[in-house]
Amino acid sequence: VDAVHEKSHASGKIDFSAKINMHAFQMRFVGASVQDITKKNESSFYSNYYIGNNESKWATGVKNFAEVTYEQLYPGINMVLREDNGSLKYDYIVQVGANPADIELELIGLKNCEVINGRLSLQTSVGELLESIPVCYQVIDEKKVEVPCEYRLAKDKQHIRFVFPKGYNKGYDLIIDPV
């Protein structure tokens, strides 16, 4: 996409014959129910969404934020999305008393999904997207304490949960960073 964009700027013409291969898939939060959304650090930038031919579904001047928190995505679990060096990052904040097993992701529209050496391999029509081993930690006595965490893929190869083979200290919040 970037190459076609740059070429059109250089030549002043848009090459409509260029073939761009893309693949989209969905990540659904099974059983989730957002109670509130908080936004931080509004950007001066905005986005426009022209999806399809139905103008009633278009959105223009949509504000951008550096950080958005989905409060109570699951009971006692928030999800924080943020921009990090041009990439989207997200963390789950599991509060004391909440159950991280409530987090269940359903991946829809992939050719295949598997866990290879602790990493999540997502096969699309244009190649593999490889997610890193999740990083989990707790802040205990002002120190970051790592917590071993793994992806657990269901037999249907569409549903994913996080598991903690050595457990964690239930007296402190747990941060899950799928990296």
Print burial letters for 83-93: b (CB count within 10 Å at least 16), e (below 16).
eeeeeeeebbb
Residues paired with 71 in a beta bridge? 36
Residue type, 110: L
Do 152 and 120 contact (CB within 8 A), yes or no? no
Residue 42: its pLDDT value, please? 92
Residue 34: its pLDDT value, please? 86
Residues paired with 51 in a beta bridge? none
Residue 3: its pLDDT value, please? 60
Distances, alpha carbon 116 to alpha carbons 5, 82, 107, in Å: 35, 27, 17
Distance of alpha carbon 176 from its chain centroid, rounded?
Answer: 12
Q: Is 149 exposed, middle or buried (0-12, 13-18, 19+ CB in 10 A)?
A: buried
Stretches in the chain below the pLDDT threshold 70: 1-16
Residue 179: its pLDDT value, please? 76
Do 126 and 50 contact (CB within 8 A), yes or no? no
**Sheet (strand 119-124) strand order:** 112-116, 119-124, 127-131
Do 137 and 151 contact (CB within 8 A), yes or no? no
Residue 110: its pLDDT value, please? 94
pTM: 0.82
Which of these, 153, 136, 154, 132, lies nearest to 145 by C-alpha position?
Answer: 136
